[in-house]
Amino acid sequence: MNKEQRQAIRHTEGPLLIMAGAGSGKTRVLTHRIAYLLAEKGVPPYNVLAITFTNKAAREMKERVHKLIPDPEDAERIWISTFHSMCVRILRRNINYLGYENSFSILDPTDQNSVVKGILKNRNLDVKQHHPRKILSYISDQKNQLIDATTAISEADGHFEGLYSEIYKDYQEILYRNSSLDFDDLIMLTIELFKKEADVLNYYQNRFQYIHVDEYQDTNHAQYELVNLLAGKYRNICVVGDSDQSIYKFRGANIENILNFEDDYQDAKVILLEQNYRSTETILDAANAVIGNNTSRKPKALRTERKGGKKIKTILADSERAEGQEVLRHVMALSREYSYSDMAVLYRANSQSRAIEDAFVKGSVPYKMIGGMKFYSRMEIKDLMSYLKVIQNPHDDISFERIINTPKRGIGQKTVEKLLAYGSSNGISMYEAVMQADFVGIPKSAVVTLIKLDEMLQNLKEKSKYMMITELVDEVLEDTGYIDALEKEDTLESRSRIENLEEFKTVTREFDNENEISDELLFDFLSDMALVSDQDGVEADSGVTLMTMHASKGLEFKVVFVVGLEEGIFPSQRVMYDDDELEEERRLMYVALTRAEDQLILSRADSRMIYGKRESNVQSRFLNEIPAGLIDGEVVEIDSAKSKSPFQKAGRAHRRTPTVLTDNSGVTFKVGDKVAHKKFGDGIISNIKGEGDSKELDIIFTKEGPKRLLANFAPLEKKE
């Protein structure tokens, strides 16, 4: 431990702000501080709370605490969780005070979207004119500011706010009727509970006498209020964060929470952690130079013992396609020194990933993209999860409507609408309406089918009380006929869905291994699944990681590529004339730079296709803010003869430095040539397009069929 780290660990009484720079060992400080409280201060483990933002961070913290505390039972008694997981546990015990069922469901974004679409339909509003995502963003903003629907209606300004506040009211009424919560409700309702029930608040204040909050710069207003309520009695609150890494304003994060901590707690101790244990001096000097241009920050300067370091490489490409090819060239060259999983490509927006993906696919470089189509959003997984949700909470109309005719059992849309209308007019759930199906006015054949469905669900609910989750999943898939229906379909798509359902059991088995049968088991599993984040899918040895800069926060890689460094792309066009937004973008650049341990490669394109139009932009101001002495003097420039604006830095023109990366560069391919590929096997060239590094080969492989590959990069052997 360095001096500042030891100081932070030993200062246990009263408010403490630890301003921890990137890579400064803040998790180590937090976990050792918790161990110090137990070992040296005699604090009971159940009086300690640690809150962070991602499941991944919470798991890492738990693992480290278990290693530091000799008694595993003591380690287990400490509450270490995300904000949302903590609130789920509190609400599970106490939500009945607010009129909800303790077996409440948690809606995911797809479910929320369905609810809003239903409201728009009932109000005869056009989904294209009133996009559900925009309305949900409005509702989320209101909840993060702790504004309920009634207040939102009274404070609405203008037609659209008035309409959206009314939709917010409808939305909340549906959720209440379904005993369902969205993510924002988890925190908002916990605060409502604490303010309404003084005894409940007093219980948790006494329970959590020592509170730790990680990534405090990312807290929104609701999280800020929640933390202050919990800390209100004992005031032993330790917050850890970095104003230079506040990058979630678009989610409601308020940088003022960390900047004003000393105003909220005037007796607060402030400790700066400025020793970086991750990056080279070159990388830190670049990051410090960039972030130094911001004004809304607590000044600090990261330092490291990793003196020197490789200079920062830069790329100028002719287009986004050429940029992808150039990133590929560098990755292949670096793969001699690093594994693919040591490298990451970061971009401002997900749409920028396509050109990188195309290059990697054609170059046969393995990669993992974070933030694409999520496994849990796939149809078959959503269907299965909906069955489990209905078993746990029969009043969940959103899930029940999804599974009532899945797989198909002859229940038509008119029957569904009648059940929904009957339930709405009688103030009951769709599931309860099914049990009164004789009075709903639906065909007798549908009544018989619904009675069978009800009996099956009741039977599965009983089974859930004495089964592990994997066993229950097997029973659900069997009893509902879901697997049978997919097997009868017998298509490539249905087989893929069966494989995904089998893969889902990997998740359930991991959960089963860590838990025992109990009445809470299904609820706990569904809560865990609802709170999965993108970063939870980041695994080692899975190829080059492709992700947005926002998603990269908290991660580190040996080599980092930052692409799309052009004005209008990064920083984005919409922030150009807003100083606060521009500072947020600069903090995002700082986060991107400080993900790198050994090497940085910064890239831009001379022109780029944006929303169907090709545009040329000057290089990003963030590149200009990096001292020229930190930049490698030479850069690969693709199609430099065609480029209209040669890449220049500090008055020095960069020159093309071609690198031979494969044995193919001197090989001449022609149509009809037989080739062998390391992965795809034998094939024959059917067509050739492009020139130089852009040359592409259309190859028909004997086993894998047609593929298009880059001539210079694909692992090909020409056969005689």
User: Known binding site for ATP: residues?
Assistant: 20-27
Q: Which amino acid is at 650?
A: A
* Residue 495 is a catalytic residue: no
DSSP H/E element including 250: none
336 DSSP assignment: T
The answer to whether residue 595 is catalytic is yes
Active-site hit among 4, 5, 26, 74: 26
Angle between the 109-122 and 132-144 helix axes, to the nearest 10 degrees?
A: 110
With residues binned 3-state (H G I as helix, E B as strand, rest as coil), the percentages for the chain, rounded to 5, are 50, 15, 35
Amino acid at 182: D
Active-site residue, from 142, 209, 245, 545: 245
The CA-based diameter of the chain, rounded to the nearest angstrom, is 84
Structure tokens, 137: 């963003």
Q: Are 648 and 654 in contact (CB under 8 A)?
A: yes
Contact 410, 587 (CB under 8 A): no
- Check: CB of residue 228 under 8 Å from CB of residue 239: no
Active site residue 214: yes
Tell me the two tokens of residue 539. 């695994």
End-to-end alpha carbon distance in the chain: 63
Asked whether the bond before 627 is cis by omega within 30 degrees of 0, the reply is no
- For residue 595 the two structure tokens come to 């993900």
Given 4, 74, 111, 214, the catalytic residue? 214
Task: Output the six-digit token pair for 523.
Answer: 């609820």
Measured in whole angstroms, the distance separating CA 333 from the mean position of its chain's CA atoms is 30
Q: How far apart are CA 475 and CA 117, in angstroms?
A: 32
List phi, psi (to 5°) of 603: -130, 145
Distance (Å, rounded) from C-alpha 369 to C-alpha 513? 28
> Could you tell me the two tokens for 374?
């999520």
Residue 217 CB coordination number (10 Å) = 23
Cis link prior to 407 (omega < 30° from 0)?
yes
CA distances to 96, 413, 568 from 319, in Å: 58, 49, 15
Q: How many residues are present in the chain?
A: 720
- Cα angle for residues 673, 674, 675 (degrees, 5° grid): 115
Annotated catalytic residue within 7, 12, 27, 205: 27
Instruction: Determine the residue type at 387.
Output: Y
Please state whether 102 falls in left (phi above 0), alpha (psi between -120 and 50) or beta: alpha
Contact 594, 283 (CB under 8 A): yes
Cα separation, 18 vs 29, in Å, equals 10
Q: Which of 215, 244, 606, 637 is catalytic?
A: 215
- Return the exposure string of 652-683: e unless at least 16 CB atoms fall within 10 Å of the residue's CB, then b: eebeeeeeebbebeeeebeeebebebeebeeb
With beta carbons less than 8 A apart as the criterion, state whether 43 and 295 touch. Answer: no
Distance CA 220, CA 553 (A): 17
For Cα atoms 217, 219, 220, give the angle at the middle one, nearest 5 degrees.
Answer: 130
Which residue in 28, 19, 31, 589 sits closest to 274, CA to CA? 19
510 is catalytic: no
- Give the count of beta carbons closer than 10 Å to the beta carbon of residue 237: 25
Active site residue 215: yes
Question: Which residues, in sequence order, are bridge partners of residue 50?
Answer: 80, 212
Please report, in range form, the residues annotated as the binding site.
Answer: 20-27
**Residue 563: exposure state from Cβ atoms within 10 A (0-12, 13-18, ≥19):** buried
Q: Is 245 in the active site?
A: yes
Pairs from 610-613 (Cβ < 8 Å, separation ≥ 24)? 610/568, 610/569
Asked if 22 contacts 242 with a C-beta cutoff of 8 angstroms, the reply is: yes
* Residues classed as catalytic: 26-27, 214-215, 245, 595
